[in-house]
Amino acid sequence: MSMLPFHDRDGWIWMNGEMVPWREAKVHVLTHALHYGSAVFEGERAYNGTIFKLTEHTERLHNSAEILDFKIPYPVAAIDEACRATLKANQLTDGYVRPIAWRGSEMMGVSAQNNRINVAVATWEWPSYFSPEARMEGIKLAWAKYKRPDPATAPSKSKAVGLYMICTISKHIAEREGCNDAMMLDWRGLIAETTGANVFLVQDGVIHTPTPDCFLDGITRRTVIDLAKKRGFKVVERAIKPEELKKTQEVFICGTAAEVTPIQSIGDQKFKPGEITKALMQDYDALVRGQGAKAAKAAE
Ligand code: PMP
């Protein structure tokens, strides 16, 4: 990946209905989203020219905005098309896609009833750095400083930018401690998710994952549950206490960016990425890449 800063690159960004040169896709410093966190976003991945579960992501973007009490001024199909067009304009077949919607500058106070809703889509390269063998070693997690908030305290079903404040702080601390990421508990002290991915535990051949009642029910999470069931594994969604890690053999996380990533440790607790994690890594890979390949073939 290029080490150029994100504001200073060649390419195109879709912004409010137009494709604009990358360096010109700017916002003013007096933008409501910057001061009051009124923005929602998505993270998508394209494989072989096809954005995986694109419409599900766009629908979630719309839903995230509604939770923050604003309406995205483009229908789902138009945003889907903007995502595809941006990828194409940047000549990418494999990469990351980042749609974002935010309140503009018309009002600068807590109330923002009349602010324009802006939408942009950017895309960039995001290769898999590691071979499947290297990935099977697993990454290290620290315990996060912050907890996922009670849904009565924050709009936890929205992929809103403000919810990432505690993630960045927690991830910075984890990185300083020599870890790759942080495992977050929820407001009750139950296992929730990492700073950008959902979590699964394998206990005696059964797959367990926390009920997503105060964090994002990831699109990858739901995909992995389907893949596991197709393999004949039992998947249990339930409240999971951190003490249970003692009787857990394998842990993996999943998300659009993380895909399926094995975990080798959480704090002092060690795990051995094993056969179930490996099988789901392979199944996820085959699904996302296969879907793109099929679409490319059909378009020939
Ligand atoms: N939780 C958080 C906090 C995330 O940022 C993400 C990534 N969007 C996920 C879970 C996984 O969601 P998805 O599988 O839809 O990418």
Residues 282 and 146 both lie in one domain: yes
CA distance 198 to 211: 10
CB of 184 within 6 A of ligand 1: the answer is: no
Q: Using CA positions, which residue lies closest to atom 3 of ligand 1?
A: 196
* The pLDDT of residue 1 is above 60: no
CB of 256 within 6 A of ligand 1: the answer is: yes
* Final residue before a domain boundary, out of 89, 124, 159: 124
* The pLDDT of residue 2 is above 60: no
Residues 140 and 284 both lie in one domain: yes
Residues 176 and 67 both lie in one domain: no
pTM of the model: 0.95
CA Rg value for the chain: 20
**pLDDT for 84-122, tens place per residue?**
999 999 999 999 999 999 999 999 999 999 999 999 999
Model confidence at 131, pLDDT cuts 50, 70, 90, reads confident
Task: Give the pLDDT of residue 236.
Answer: 98
**pLDDT for 35-62, tens place per residue?**
999 999 999 999 999 999 999 999 999 9
Which of the residues are catalytic?
159
CB of 198 within 6 A of ligand 1: the answer is: yes
* The pLDDT of residue 295 is above 80: no
CA distance 98 to 120: 8
94, part of any domain = yes
Model confidence at 299, pLDDT cuts 50, 70, 90, reads low
Parent domain of 270: 132-288
179, part of any domain = yes
Model confidence at 33, pLDDT cuts 50, 70, 90, reads very high
Residues 67 and 202 both lie in one domain: no
CA distance 200 to 281: 12
Number of domains in the chain: 2
**Ligand 1 centre from 131 Cα, in Å?**
22
Residues 147 and 276 both lie in one domain: yes
**pLDDT for 222-278, tens place per residue?**
999 999 999 999 999 999 999 999 999 999 999 999 999 999 999 999 999 999 999
Residues 204 and 233 both lie in one domain: yes
